[in-house]
Amino acid sequence: MSATTTAPAPAASTKRQEIVNRHAILEAIRGLAAIEELVEHEEGRGYKFSVDLEVAVYGRNYGPGKKVGPYIRMYDYAPGQAIVRQGDWDTNTFYIIVSGAAEVFVTGVAEPVAVFESGKPFGEMGVLAGAPRSATVIAHRQRGARALEVQRPALRILRKLKRFGAALDIAYRNNGRAAAASQLQAPDDLKKKIADIAEFQLAARGHVLASEGERIRNLILIRDGWVKRISQTQAGEVADYLGPGYILGFNALTVRDARFPYRALAMSRTETLEISVEALYRDPQLLESLKSALGAAGEIGTPLQPAKALTFKPAAKAAQDRLLDKGLADANNLLLMDMDLCIRCGNCSLACHEMHGQSRLKRIGIHVLRPRTPTHAKLDQSLLMPAVCLHCKDPECLTGCPTGAIARFEGGQVDILPSLCIGCGDCATQCPYNAISLIPRSELKKSPAKPPAPSQNGKSALAKAPAKAKDAASAADPLDPFAALGLRFDPKPSPVTQDEDLVAIKCNLCNNTPLNPKDATGKPAYAAHKYNCEENCPTGALKRVKPAEYFNEIAQIHGPALRQAGAMLVGNRFGHADRTKTLAHAVGVALTLALCGATMAGIVQYGLGTPLFKSDWLNFRWITGLVGLAGIIIVMLYPVRRQMWRRRGGALKAWMLSHTYAGVIAGTLILLHGGTNLGGPVTAALMISFDLVILTGLIGILLYQLGPRLLTKIEGEPLLAEDLLRRRDELYQEIADLTVTAQAQAEKEGRGTQFQQVFLPARDRVIRAVLSLGFLLRQYVRREDLDALLADVRKRFADAANKQATAADQDVMRQITEAIATIRRIDALLYIHWALKLWLPPHVISTSVMLGLLAVHIVQVVYYLWR
């Protein structure tokens, strides 16, 4: 083999050959010590694990479309043929060599780094850790290989076998240790020595890696996951966070018998490499080499006095705590909604619905406040992580699937194969983010539906609905203008009324859809992958990100010890900034100023009717009319683009900007075109309708700029309008219940008259004061959080409570005061929600009238010009 820096190219011309003889598979299992117990016989009873063996090797049919297994298959690989490839995301299978051997290659190394002989399992790191393949494994170049391919669901069966668990654990730890050591930013000889004395460990969320005051026996290198360091003080706990690439306990290399000055807690599934301190002291040269190579990763201080690289402002630490506590930093593909930009239109959910036939995106989820830039000291960016799949590094949904229907595929995304799904719902119950839904399989086969408002509110659908659904639908206004204009959209799926023939659905990142088609060879037709929800957001509020690249506060807690950490992860210093959008704004402003300025200068110099360029008809009235008409055509392309749900048409935010700037240009030029004389009735009506279009459009722009930002200031957790309405009704009912209960108690005690003369008037005064217009406007002016508002209201109306006859009545009055103040806060939020939509019907109607009158005007102009 030549001395090159790459592994030999695996044989690509041959395909692996499956051994379909089940007897041969059983004999192979019998010859492998780790799993031979699976085919063990019990005298007089047959196979000890007969049902498990049937499912694993033969497969078992539980009814139509309910087959599970087989999970163990056997293949022959030709010499040099690839079994797994480094970097692949095939995290659903691992292998056991039956005969022959396999050679292991890693990038940059010409010779095999290991040879797997018969009985050796490999590939388990991908299954257990959810990580891409860390090496390329090929069949031995002289002997070839025969191997068992074991799918993820078989783990639940094989773990019952005593020897398999031990063998898998040993293989996992050995391979993990080698993989972790190979990632160190250290010379190769140091990596090998560290691997010889280190142990690979796996800790679950909440596991204590080190206790405060405990003697440091091992250096703890964080290979993957997140660690929270906690120091106890008289004032309470002080904590900070560390990510991959940092080393705990490094001070033991300078102070013998040193102790941990903090408690270390795993915040997620965390892989560590533990290096024995005693072994290092027995080899002083190794100790000094390790200190020299990895010292920067170990000099981390304490939570009370952290190293400079780990010193963050309180706002950044609060964001770290939220992101790590909720597991968001472990997402492979995270969907964010910047609530300062979100206009609550629901277009993202509708786009998902149009693409898949069912919306997999719910506009509720986890709310995070963070500093918009690293230098900000305030939590001034409000982000919502909607209930949609995060494609986690360690997906819990995969662990319980009995058929392997849900798995990780190319690119790292987690997806569901409907053909294998039996609708058991195990994945949905395991998902901590409520990102998986169950629907009838018949719904999955339907082509993507039209907007759901007509089908949900229409008489035909209501006639077929259950009684409860009819009652709910009858409460809706049949003349709802939002529904009539397609502006009301409920992304929640219809309730499932049956428990048979269900299938699980979730976000698949728009793979295998018209938005991301593949060519004849199966490769993506476009270089850039697109997401329909993001593409159809009119303001650019949605963004799919990798947490360590977007969140600066997460990027900065990656340590320098590992190759993939450090300088590669720089975070996003500008929050949700969009350079393309910024450039579009710059071009739009420049074009608007240039065209409008040049037109006004020309009119001042030449007037509207003066012929130009020795022409009989070309003048500034024609120029302003034609350019205005071109602007109107560009403006009207936006609603056309809005209907392009299932194919690429450019990001909707870019079309919204072109719609806005073309509208401003067209509006200005048309106003100049009209001059000071309105002309005949049609022309006058056209100009008035055009003025209304401009006015409503400008109101919409103003609302889109101010509304979302005002909402984020006063809403706390982002809520949908329907949730706010439901909560408001609950609070009104709570006030009524409190009043009825207090009055009944007063009458029971003989205080009925006093209650009516004192309690009820005081309650009504509080309600009138809080529900006043002034108190509503206060919400928008002061923009105080709800806790501060309630505290002020309690103080302001303290006399209303204190004048009550009993302590119980005083407490009820305080509860009513807080409830009515909360209702007024909800009103303030609802008015903004409604304002973001109410401007649109007048804008659409005036635009329709304007277009009709414009057509008549154009016909008139052409007629008078050519007659």
DSSP, residue by residue, 760-780: HHHHHHHHHHHTSHHHHHHHH
The maximal CA–CA distance of the chain, rounded, in angstroms, is: 111
What span, in angstroms and rounded, lies between the C-alpha atoms of 54 and 38? Answer: 10
pLDDT of residue 389: 94
With cut-offs at 50, 70 and 90, classify the pLDDT of residue 756.
very high
Please indicate, yes or no, if residue 179 is contained in any of the structural domains: no
pLDDT of residue 445: 58
Domain boundary among 286, 312, 338: 312
What is the average pLDDT across 453-481?
Answer: 38
pLDDT of residue 75: 96
Closest CA to 119 of 147, 91, 82, 161: 147
Domain boundary among 283, 312, 341: 312
**Looking at the predicted structure, is the pLDDT value of residue 459 above 70?**
no
Please indicate, yes or no, if residue 671 is contained in any of the structural domains: yes
Question: Are residue 72 and residue 36 in the same domain, yes or no?
Answer: yes
Q: How many domains does the chain have?
A: 5
With cut-offs at 50, 70 and 90, classify the pLDDT of residue 367.
very high
Instruction: Give the best-scoring range by mean pLDDT among 73-82, 233-242, 499-508, 599-608.
Output: 73-82
Least confident range from 229-238, 461-470, 632-641, 777-786: namely 461-470
**Looking at the predicted structure, is the pLDDT value of residue 266 above 90?**
yes
Please indicate, yes or no, if residue 468 is contained in any of the structural domains: no
**Looking at the predicted structure, is the pLDDT value of residue 569 above 70?**
no
pLDDT of residue 615: 75
Please indicate, yes or no, if residue 472 is contained in any of the structural domains: no
Q: Let me know: does 358 contact 505? Beta carbons within 8 Å.
A: yes
- What is the per-residue pLDDT across 36-61, written as a single tens digit (0 to 9) for each? 889 888 877 788 888 888 888 988 87
Higher-confidence residue: 2 or 432? 432
With cut-offs at 50, 70 and 90, classify the pLDDT of residue 463.
very low
Question: Are residue 222 and residue 275 in the same domain, yes or no?
Answer: yes
670-676, Cβ contacts within 8 angstroms, sequence gap of 24 or more: 670/624, 670/625, 670/628, 672/599, 672/600, 672/603, 672/608, 672/620, 672/624, 673/608, 673/621, 673/624, 673/625, 673/628, 675/608, 675/621
Locate 611 and state its tokens: 């012929």
Closest CA to 701 of 671, 661, 645: 661
Placement of tokens 């303001």 in the chain: 539
With cut-offs at 50, 70 and 90, classify the pLDDT of residue 648.
very high
Strand partners, 337: 384, 542
Question: Are residue 695 and residue 782 in the same domain, yes or no?
Answer: no
Beta strands in 657-812 (DSSP E): none
**Looking at the predicted structure, is the pLDDT value of residue 717 above 90?**
no
With cut-offs at 50, 70 and 90, classify the pLDDT of residue 153.
confident
**Looking at the predicted structure, is the pLDDT value of residue 617 above 90?**
no
What span, in angstroms and rounded, lies between the C-alpha atoms of 202 and 268? Answer: 10
What span, in angstroms and rounded, lies between the C-alpha atoms of 391 and 407? Answer: 10
What span, in angstroms and rounded, lies between the C-alpha atoms of 243 and 571? Answer: 14
Please indicate, yes or no, if residue 460 is contained in any of the structural domains: no
Three-class SS of residue 492? coil
What is the average pLDDT across 791-818?
Answer: 93
**Looking at the predicted structure, is the pLDDT value of residue 238 above 70?**
yes
With cut-offs at 50, 70 and 90, classify the pLDDT of residue 193.
very high
Enumerate residues 6+ apart whose C-beta is below 8 A from 62. Answer: 68, 422
What is the average pLDDT across 612-631?
Answer: 86
pLDDT of residue 485: 46
With cut-offs at 50, 70 and 90, classify the pLDDT of residue 499.
low
Using a pLDDT cut of 70, give the percent of the chain over it: 90
pLDDT of residue 564: 56
Average pLDDT for the chain: 86
Please indicate, yes or no, if residue 478 is contained in any of the structural domains: no
pLDDT of residue 762: 94
Question: Are residue 701 and residue 627 in the same domain, yes or no?
Answer: yes
pLDDT of residue 500: 62
Least confident range from 123-132, 367-376, 492-501: namely 492-501
Helix (H) or strand (E) holding 94: strand 93-100
Please indicate, yes or no, if residue 470 is contained in any of the structural domains: no
Closest CA to 622 of 613, 803, 345, 225: 613
Higher-confidence residue: 374 or 536? 536
Question: Are residue 701 and residue 781 in the same domain, yes or no?
Answer: no
Q: Let me know: does 95 contact 46? Beta carbons within 8 Å.
A: no
What span, in angstroms and rounded, lies between the C-alpha atoms of 821 and 789? Answer: 8
pLDDT of residue 8: 61
pLDDT of residue 124: 84
Closest CA to 354 of 477, 188, 489: 489
Q: Residue 294 is part of a domain; what is its CATH number?
A: 2.60.120.10
Placement of tokens 């509207």 in the chain: 608
Question: Are residue 398 and residue 531 in the same domain, yes or no?
Answer: yes
pLDDT of residue 560: 92
Helices 721-748 and 807-838, packing angle to 10 deg: 160
Q: Running DSSP on this structure, what letter comes out for residue 326? A: T
Enumerate residues 6+ apart whose C-beta is below 8 A from 135. Answer: 84, 86, 104, 105, 106, 113
With cut-offs at 50, 70 and 90, classify the pLDDT of residue 12.
low
**Looking at the predicted structure, is the pLDDT value of residue 831 above 80?**
yes
pLDDT of residue 11: 58
Enumerate residues 6+ apart whose C-beta is below 8 A from 251. Answer: 216, 258, 298
Amino acid of residue 134:
S
Domain boundary among 509, 536, 551: 551
Locate 155 and state its tokens: 């783990």
**Looking at the predicted structure, is the pLDDT value of residue 849 above 50?**
yes
**Looking at the predicted structure, is the pLDDT value of residue 244 above 90?**
yes
Locate 258 and state its tokens: 């040193």
What span, in angstroms and rounded, lies between the C-alpha atoms of 161 and 293? Answer: 43
Helix (H) or strand (E) holding 366: strand 362-370
Question: Are residue 705 and residue 727 in the same domain, yes or no?
Answer: no
Question: Are residue 707 and residue 590 in the same domain, yes or no?
Answer: yes
- What is the per-residue pLDDT across 291-340, written as a single tens digit (0 to 9) for each? 999 989 999 999 999 998 899 999 999 999 999 999 999 998 999 999 99
- What is the per-residue pLDDT across 160-184, written as a single tens digit (0 to 9) for each? 888 888 888 888 888 888 888 888 9
- What is the per-residue pLDDT across 415-424, written as a single tens digit (0 to 9) for each? 998 888 888 8
Question: Are residue 533 and residue 654 in the same domain, yes or no?
Answer: no
Question: Are residue 813 and residue 854 in the same domain, yes or no?
Answer: no
Closest CA to 317 of 571, 546, 553: 553
- Domain residues for the domain of 406 are 330-452+489-517+527-551
Question: Are residue 127 and residue 214 in the same domain, yes or no?
Answer: no
**Looking at the predicted structure, is the pLDDT value of residue 189 above 80?**
yes
Please indicate, yes or no, if residue 463 is contained in any of the structural domains: no
Question: Are residue 777 and residue 686 in the same domain, yes or no?
Answer: no
CA dihedral 743, 745, 751, 757 (to 10 degrees): -20
